[in-house]
């Protein structure tokens, strides 16, 4: 059985944005667009620790959707654009700023959880100390 000391620490940005295993950097972490595999096909790392929750969606909304919606509002207020203009400008902009970043952001969050050994918080009482 391999140990954690055998694997050199890899950058969560490099492995996560490429959607690779955070331990070996070779295996893929996704089964589909956003569904995590049960484990890495190369090193066998169990991905059950990973729970990025709504993190990727939050980052996409803040840094992708909000500017795209501001553009749509600007276009409407200053040019009173007809619906077909929004269909050919705003809709593709919103789709391109929302969908493609989800997968690499989720990969980055999963890799960061592994790298920083993130775990569920636990309450420590005087009895435990």
Helix (H, G, I), strand (E, B) or coil at 47: helix
Tokens representing 122?
A: 């636990």
User: Domain limits at 10?
Assistant: 4-115
Q: Which pLDDT value is given to residue 79? A: 95
Phi/psi of residue 4, each to 5°?
A: -65, -30
Averaged pLDDT in 10-residue chunks for the chain of 129 residues: 69 96 95 95 93 92 92 96 95 94 96 91 76
pTM of the model: 0.84
Question: CB-based contacts of 32: which residues, under 8 Å, 6+ apart?
Answer: none
Is 127 within the bounds of a domain? no
Is 15 within the bounds of a domain? yes
Is 121 within the bounds of a domain? no
How many structural domains are present in the chain? 1
């Amino acid at each position: 059985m391999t140990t954690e000391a055998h694997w050199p620490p890899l950058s969560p940005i490099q492995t996560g944005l490429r959607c690779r295993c955070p331990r070996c950097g070779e295996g893929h972490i996704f089964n589909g667009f956003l569904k995590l595999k049960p484990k890495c096909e190369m090193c066998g790392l169990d991905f059950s620790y990973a729970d990025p929750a709504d993190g990727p969606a939050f980052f996409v909304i803040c840094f992708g959707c909000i500017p795209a919606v501001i553009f749509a509002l600007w276009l409407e207020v200053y040019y009173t654009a007809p619906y077909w203009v929004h269909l050919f400008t705003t809709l593709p902009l919103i789709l391109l700023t929302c969908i493609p970043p989800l997968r690499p952001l989720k990969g980055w969050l999963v890799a960061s959880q592994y790298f920083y050994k993130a775990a569920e918080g636990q309450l420590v009482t005087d009895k435990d100390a």
